[in-house]
A = this chain, B = another copy of it.
Amino acid sequence: MPPNRRFLLMRRPQGTPVPEDFALVTQETPALAPGEFLIRNHYASLDPAMRGWMDAEGNYMPPIPLGAPVRASTIGVIAESRAEGFAPGQWVMGLNALEDYSVGVAGGFTQVIDPAAVPSITNYLSIFGAVGMTAYFGLFEVCEPKPGETVLVSGAAGAVGSLVGQLAKIHGCRAVGIAGGPAKCARLTEKYGFDAAIDYKGKDEAALSEAIAAACPHGVDVIFENVGGIILDAGLMHLNLHARVGLCGLISEYNTAPRGCRNLWQLIVKRAQIRGLLVADYVDRFAEGAAQMGQWAAQGRLTIDEHIDEGLENAFASFMRLFAGTNDGKMILKIA
């Protein structure tokens, strides 16, 4: 078996992760047991949710054990197999880890994917992966926008947010995005078709609130929330009656003690709701979502940017882009 470079979690990050929380080591790959197969990982998805998996308290997934490689969705090619239905040379996608080789097991989370079905194999980590399905089911199933309504998206230049805005437009909604900096804001309106973009940088809650009022003259019917903090609080002040807030993420709070949502009372005033969403709930409908997304993409109505960094040795720096906001699109790490 080939030696395996693995990006291990060595201690639980306190607040913002530092390089010393991790270690890139080379370990032996154990021989395959019956029913197992060896995946040569080519690309890994880097997602904000991975930060939560590094903490001691489990959330919807058990914590990553200390000394284990950092859990991540990857795509790769089967190198060896002792499992029926998984042949060497086949491309697969699954929940594995940041490492050269992962061992998969028949009946587990790994599925065979068809490189000929997509423009780029990496699309399985973006538009046709958890990111695309989060945008699709999160917007349509959790937020239930109606044509003509206003959809406010935070983290709008991110992988999920940029798709949510485009889906809202396809659905006939007004899409308003919040992102950091003029370059990202320009991308929102020019590339993703948002009706308006709000640059949160340098704005306090009052200034954000003013900007939202200006960009949403008819109020906000749906918030697709990826950020939290003052961005969510400012948005809550502009809800219309019976508005829906889909809570997808709270990236502003992952590395710090949360500031706390202070405008919850607006839910009473507007008889509105906040509902948490997790894409795993829609796994049995991924084919439906991917087919619809694929159709829109083929029609040129969906753009997804992928930000691909190279090299397992850059895993830490690439992961941290998500929190600094220095990625331009879905963050992917090319392993081989």
Measured CB to CB, the residues of A under 8 A from B are 52, 59-60, 228, 247-250, 253, 257-278, 281
Contact = CB atoms under 8 A, between A and B. Distances in A.
A270 B264 contact: no
A278 B270 CA distance: 9
Contact of A247 (B258, B259, B260, B264): B264
Contacts of A276: 265-273
B248 A268 contact: yes
21 contacts: A59-B269, A228-B264, A247-B264, A247-B267, A248-B268, A249-B268, A250-B265, A253-B265, A258-B262, A258-B264, A258-B265, A259-B260, A260-B260, A261-B261, A264-B274, A267-B274, A268-B276, A270-B276, A271-B281, A272-B275, A273-B275
A278 B273 contact: no
B271 A277 contact: yes
Given A253-B265, A273-B273, 11 more contacts: A52-B265, A59-B269, A249-B268, A250-B265, A260-B260, A260-B261, A266-B276, A268-B278, A271-B278, A273-B275, A273-B276
A247 B262 contact: no
Contacts of A275: 267, 271-274
* Closest A-B pairs by Cβ, 3 of them: A260-B260, A267-B276, A268-B276
A249 B267 CA distance: 10
B274 A273 contact: yes
A159 to B, nearest CB: 17
Nearest to A229: B260
Contacts of A228: 264
A270 B275 CA distance: 10
A277 B273 CA distance: 9
Nearest to A273: B275
A250 B265 CA distance: 7
A274 B253 CA distance: 19
Nearest to A280: B271
A274 B274 contact: yes
Nearest to A250: B265
A229 to B, nearest CB: 10
A281 to B, nearest CB: 6
Contacts of A259: 260, 262
Nearest to A272: B276
B277 A268 contact: yes
Contacts of A270: 276
Contacts of A248: 268
A133 to B, nearest CB: 15
Contacts of A266: 276
A18 to B, nearest CB: 22
A268 B276 CA distance: 4
A12 B224 CA distance: 35
A82 B212 CA distance: 49
